[in-house]
Structure 1
Amino acid sequence: MHRRTVLVTATLVAATLILAVISLVLRGAGVSPSEAFAVLIGDHGGFAATVVLKWRLPRVVAALVIGAALAVAGAIFQSLTRNPLGSPDVIGFNTGAYTGALVVMLAGFGSFVATATGAMTGGMVAAAAVYLLSLRSGSTGLRMVVVGLGISAMLAAVNRWLIRAAELDASMAIATWGAGTLNGLRWPHVVPGVIALLALIVVAGCLARRLDLFDMGDEAAHGLGLPLRSTQLSLLVVGVGLTACSTALVGPISFVALAAPHIARALTRGSRVSLAPVAATGALILVAADLAAQRLFAPTQLPVGVVTVTIGGIYLVTLLAREARR
């Protein structure tokens, strides 16, 4: 990486860690900031340790890893589509993963493994539909985005029907989870999801060189010996896996995958950006959004997806207007 990229990544990581510590030590649940900080340095136990280490820390860890995972997924899909709008929450993969998880949960299988399997299946089915329909015209760029928007709208309608058809208690719980929330996360739920996401991020890092070649265009990449179809399939599976595991853990969260690659690219001032600053940007966005979701209307905690989708709507309109002017 270039020196500016290293400096930007280090700055993003430092800012993210500062926000993470703030999230852990803020006043709340009968614990003062001094008591919470004492827990972090190992000088306090009891109820304060339960609040900080068993209630708050899993939430912060999940926000860090999921934010990084969604950002990497966004970078992968924007590279595959060669379109700034090519993120999983725009082209339907996020919605497909939600549909799969929703079907599994309504069938009575509420474990993380079952939900993750359903989310992965739904995401892969949506991805296969978008990919195959895009190939019919010989293009996987703008057409993939347009087809993905159509698939996403169809699946969103199916999701609403499923929620309305469910029993009242189940539909209310699933609707809350469907807004994308980190509320109530505990270590038994976080650990398997974080391990799976970290493994997929490592795989994405191993494919980063192919991603750079793919950004050069089909002809140039093929001339340099890159197998296009297998590379597209590998990147697609990894991107859908990152999206599906994140959705299985906390529900669908919008905006992060769309915005993080753009913000990282602007900060590093490069036409292409490595995955390290992208992942750091995604982690920072989600930790900041979750902190806002917890504190804006305290003691009521909002789903973090409400915060990200509000900001994301404004960002998406701005991005569309800028692309239209170009």
Structure 2
Amino acid sequence: MFLVDVLLGTYTVTMPDFLRILGGTEIPGASFIVMENKLPRAVVGLLAGAAFGVSGAVCQTLLRNPLASPDVIGVTSGASAAAVLGIVVLGVRGQGVSWLALAGGLLVALTLHVMARGGGASCHRLVLVGIGCAALLQAVTSYLLTRSDIRTASEVMVWLNGSLNDSTWERAAHLLLATGLLLPVAAHLAHGLRGLELGDDAAAGLGVPVARVRLGLLLLAVALAAVATAATGPVAFVAFLSGPIARRLLGGAVSLPAAGLVGALVVLAAELVAANLVPGAVLPVGVVTGALGAPFLLWLLVTGSRVGRGG
């Protein structure tokens, strides 16, 4: 799918020409389109999709709830609100937006932890608190947009829909650095995640330091969601879809690498559709993932209600 994104579309590039361009050969027109447009978008989509996928799988497994993905419980809303605050009010650009998004995501995660713990740490309560936090933060984001000039508001609105349109090599480098640091940590903590899936008592019996691993996994999931959000905006439902799809492909087993690959596949496929669906226009990738994710969420809620009634 990565190669399909780069080679196909409104401007088609052959594989030999692509390899020549990577080797440094200048092909008029094709070199600019590949190196400054298609390839950076594909790299950012690949990395952001993998980060969203792993983040969603960690949250859903850690909280034992398929609804507990970062985009549903408000983590990406917190990252978005902080990033928009930096862009609109503080005039921050580049790497500063990433740091603000990370801080916003961590703040929401801390708020969820404190508020849900007050009611018995129920996973269902945490999801409900997260949905409320997401609604509040979306209102804050909307207010900030009303206080910005039309040009900034237009730029932010495209970003809020989740878009790869403004991808650059600088943004790809920042995202590569962040994911290069965080994904190995996810691989290191994956054993503890499998233990926690069995319950805290069983995990402790297996020698897993429950409190430390749980905190580390939560911070990891928030950081991955925040850095991906800072790079592409809150691409809807990628974190929510990736874990369940990966589990079905593996017969119910939890695999963070599989969830990351599914997340990357979803973003890249959605980008291909978004870039070619409407002639003469490139839609934000979040429009396509939102159209895919909303029916899946409704289906999950319906089937969950049937299970809850004993069906």
TM-score w.r.t. the length of structure 2 is 0.93
Alignment partner, residue 142 of structure 1? 124
In the TM superposition, what is the alpha-carbon distance from 1:167 to its structure 2 partner? Answer: 1.7
1:245 maps to a residue whose letter is V
Q: Distance in 2 between matches of 1:60 and 1:296?
A: 17
Change (3 A) 1:230 1:39: same
Aligned residues of 1:97 and 1:121 also touching (Cα < 8 A)? yes
1:243 aligns with 2:231: no
Alignment partner, residue 6 of structure 2? 24
**110, 132, 135: which one pairs with 1:128?**
110
Q: Map 1:29-178 to 2 at 5 A.
A: 31-34=11-14, 37-42=15-20, 45-46=26-27, 47-178=29-160
Q: Map 1:175-186 to 2 at 5 A.
A: 175-186=157-168
Aligned residues of 1:59 and 1:186 also touching (Cα < 8 A)? yes
In the TM superposition, what is the alpha-carbon distance from 1:27 to its structure 2 partner? Answer: 4.6
Change (3 A) 1:224 1:184: same
Aligned residues of 2:77 and 2:138 also touching (Cα < 8 A)? yes
Partner secondary structure for residue 180 of structure 1: coil
Aligned residues of 1:112 and 1:249 also touching (Cα < 8 A)? no
**230, 243, 255: which one pairs with 1:274?**
255
In the TM superposition, what is the alpha-carbon distance from 1:49 to its structure 2 partner? Answer: 1.3
Aligned residues of 1:64 and 1:287 also touching (Cα < 8 A)? yes
**261, 270, 278: which one pairs with 1:289?**
270
Q: Structure 1 runs of 4+ off > 4 angstroms?
A: none
In the TM superposition, what is the alpha-carbon distance from 1:228 to its structure 2 partner? Answer: 2.2
1:171 maps to a residue whose letter is A
Change (3 A) 1:310 1:27: closer
Alignment partner, residue 199 of structure 1? 181
Alignment partner, residue 12 of structure 1? none
Q: Distance in 2 between matches of 1:33 and 1:49?
A: 10
Change (3 A) 1:67 1:32: closer
Which stretch has the larger CA shift, 120-129 or 40-49? 40-49
Aligned residues of 2:48 and 2:175 also touching (Cα < 8 A)? no
Query: Could you list the runs of 5+ residues in structure 1 that have no partner in the other structure?
Result: 1-18
1:229 aligns with 2:211: yes
In the TM superposition, what is the alpha-carbon distance from 1:224 to its structure 2 partner? Answer: 2.4
1:310 aligns with 2:291: yes
Partner secondary structure for residue 258 of structure 2: helix
Alignment partner, residue 245 of structure 2? 263
Aligned residues of 2:58 and 2:256 also touching (Cα < 8 A)? no
Alignment partner, residue 6 of structure 1? none
1:40 maps to a residue whose letter is F
Q: Distance in 2 between matches of 1:259 and 1:230?
A: 27
1:319 aligns with 2:297: no
Aligned residues of 2:54 and 2:256 also touching (Cα < 8 A)? yes
In the TM superposition, what is the alpha-carbon distance from 1:172 to its structure 2 partner? Answer: 1.5
Which stretch has the larger CA shift, 131-140 or 313-322? 131-140
Aligned residues of 2:13 and 2:30 also touching (Cα < 8 A)? no
Alignment partner, residue 190 of structure 2? 208
Q: Distance in 2 between matches of 1:39 and 1:45?
A: 10
Q: Distance in 1 between matches of 2:291 and 2:212?
A: 37
Aligned residues of 1:80 and 1:141 also touching (Cα < 8 A)? no
Q: Distance in 2 between matches of 1:322 and 1:49?
A: 49
Q: Distance in 2 between matches of 1:112 and 1:246?
A: 13
CA RMSD in angstroms comes to: 1.4
Q: Distance in 1 between matches of 2:271 and 2:90?
A: 29
In the TM superposition, what is the alpha-carbon distance from 1:107 to its structure 2 partner? Answer: 2.8
Partner secondary structure for residue 281 of structure 2: coil
Aligned residues of 1:71 and 1:261 also touching (Cα < 8 A)? yes
In the TM superposition, what is the alpha-carbon distance from 1:32 to its structure 2 partner? Answer: 4.0
Q: Distance in 2 between matches of 1:157 and 1:278?
A: 31
Aligned residues: 303
Partner secondary structure for residue 36 of structure 2: helix
Superposed CA deviations along residues 5-41 of structure 1, whole A, max 9, x for unmatched, are xxxxxxxxxxxxxx2212212253xx4434xx33322
Partner secondary structure for residue 20 of structure 2: coil
Q: What's the % identity of the aligned pairs? A: 35
Q: Distance in 2 between matches of 1:293 and 1:66?
A: 16
